[in-house]
Amino acid sequence: MIHDEHAYDRARVTQWLGAGHSRRSFLRHTATAGLIAATGVTAGGGRVSAAAETPPTIVKPTPESLFYLRGTNAEMRWEAMRGQGYTVPVDRFFVRNHTRTPLIDVDGWRLRLFGTGLRGAPTAAAPIEFTYRQLRSLPATTRLAVIECAGNGRSFFDTQQDQPATGTAWRLGAIGVAEWRGVRLSTVLRHAGLTPQAVDVMPEGLDPDYVSNGTNLGRVRRPMPIEKALHDVLLAYEMNGRPLPPDHGFPVRVVAPSWVGISSIKWLGHIEVSATPLLSPWNTQFYRLWGPSYPEDGVVLGRQTIKSAFELAWDERFALGSSYTLHGRSWSGHGPIRRVEVSTDGATWRPAHLSGRPQRDGWQRWHLPWRPAAAGPHTLRARASDTTGHTQPDTTPFNTQGYLFDAVVDHPVTVS
Ligand SMILES: Nc1nc2c(c(=O)[nH]1)N[C@H]1C(S)=C(S)[C@@H](COP(=O)(O)O)O[C@H]1N2
Ligand SMILES: [Mo]
């Protein structure tokens, strides 16, 4: 069990520095690694030419009734959850793609494991391989888990705190809960010959290389500590009882419960298992907290934070004097939700009714009645507390990439 991801990262940086690198070189490592990866990847093929016609980056339909389209990504509209069950149906589950959804032929697909943390230290050129059929024949497990982008809620740094951050300007819809079925990562690692020396596990996707500001950073990949990998991580091949859809990682994706979405690598192709700490731009440059309230080398992201959302459209309309039931959901990467309070008048808070039992790996549904008594614009607010002592604050300390916004969100509605 990981109790302190920050301490883990400290240890990782210390190990890296102990290997003869300066702190400055750690901070610069990303760019260098990216260039090396880029050279390797493009050496044979030269420049990647633009496709004659640009295929859509997302395969499934993304109607405006269900999604906000944001570049290569699609954000779920929260009003699309009204009247839905506990999980998010695939037709409205958000999609976060660094580039595009690849279409993978499952017959030719292999999961390839290599690295110094496996017995005999197999290399990337001669890895341990699993076919899809072999993975499916290993003991399976089914579980709920949240997938949430670390940048979910990012736009509110700008609109509520006047501190714009870089990255996709999500509201609150970069989250979904699904039932995932697959094989435990620990099972696969043991079959592949995991050694006690392994410290890091780095899954890598088969989608195209990610190019950022003209630098090819290679394939989407991010290391996680072995403790997390062995604790509760799944290699999933089903989502809500059906084979994974292409946009969500077919044929196999990582599901890392309660951790930032980037840990749940889609279109899994390779896993490096290492006896020394691993680095990628996704743990040295992206998905760290940088800013005035954080240390110089930033804080690596692990667990998600606490949030709440109403199952309402942005700027939803209500009729004066009519009776409504407001529905919403709250969730936290730290533990189950214990209490939710709602404010409809900008001053007082009322407890919401929680439905069902607290869920560790999902969200908490809630509702409460509202009878709007005055015409005009209103702000609805929901504030959740979890069982580990986290309550949504009024503001979130700024970080330059706008991760982990946890403050109470002002949801505008109009009564007429
Ligand atoms: N290979 C690969 N895996 C990936 C990504 C990606 O672009 N490529 N995006 C990550 C991010 S940032 C998030 S938030 C989740 C989103 O999962 P979803 O698209 O199934 O909702 O996938 C993660 N896994
Ligand atoms: Mo993300």
Distance 177 CA to ligand 2 centre (A): 14
Do you know the residue count of the chain? 416
For atom 19 of ligand 1, the residue with the nearest CA is 95
In this predicted structure, what is the pLDDT of residue 203? 98
Q: Tokens in use for 259?
A: 């951790």
Phi/psi region, residue 180 (left: phi>0; alpha: psi -120 to 50; beta: rest), is: beta
Confirm or reject: Cβ of 180 under 6 Å from ligand 1: no
Report pTM.
0.90
For atom 16 of ligand 1, the residue with the nearest CA is 96
Distance between CA atoms of 408 and 384, rounded to whole angstroms?
A: 9
Give the strand pairing for 110-114 and 73-76.
unpaired
Confirm or reject: Cβ of 147 under 6 Å from ligand 1: yes
Confirm or reject: Cβ of 264 under 6 Å from ligand 1: yes
The label of the residue with tokens 């990647």 reads 48
The label of the residue with tokens 């779920």 reads 76
**Chain centroid, CA 383 distance in Å:** 22
Confirm or reject: Cβ of 58 under 6 Å from ligand 1: no
Chunked mean pLDDT (size 10), the chain, 416 residues: 53 52 46 35 35 76 98 98 97 98 98 98 98 98 98 98 97 98 98 98 98 97 98 98 98 98 98 98 97 95 98 98 98 97 96 89 97 97 97 98 98 98
In this predicted structure, what is the pLDDT of residue 210? 98
Question: Domain 5-16+57-210+217-300, what architecture?
Answer: Alpha-Beta Complex (3.90)
In this predicted structure, what is the pLDDT of residue 250? 98
DSSP 391: B
Paired strand residues for 210:
none
Is the domain 306-415 a CATH 2.60.40.10 member? Answer: no
Amino acid found at 316: E
> Domain ranges in the chain?
5-16+57-210+217-300, 306-415
Distance 317 CA to ligand 2 centre (A): 31
In this predicted structure, what is the pLDDT of residue 196? 98
In this predicted structure, what is the pLDDT of residue 41? 31
Q: Are 334 and 390 in contact (CB under 8 A)?
A: yes
Distance between CA atoms of 67 and 89, rounded to whole angstroms?
A: 13
Give the phi and the psi of residue 14 in degrees, each rounded to 5: -60, -40
Distance between CA atoms of 300 and 42, rounded to whole angstroms?
A: 29
In this predicted structure, what is the pLDDT of residue 49? 42
Confirm or reject: Cβ of 92 under 6 Å from ligand 1: no
Instruction: Count the neighbouring beta carbons within 10 Å of the beta carbon of residue 131.
Output: 14
In this predicted structure, what is the pLDDT of residue 212? 94
Q: Tokens in use for 74?
A: 């699609």
Distance between CA atoms of 31 and 37, rounded to whole angstroms?
A: 10
Residue 231 CA: distances (Å) to CA of 3, 39, 41: 12, 35, 33
Distance 98 CA to ligand 1 centre (A): 7
If one residue of 67, 87, 96 were mutated to test the ligand 1 pocket, choosing by the most ligand atoms within 8 A of its CB, it would be 96
Distance 261 CA to ligand 1 centre (A): 6
Confirm or reject: Cβ of 154 under 6 Å from ligand 1: no
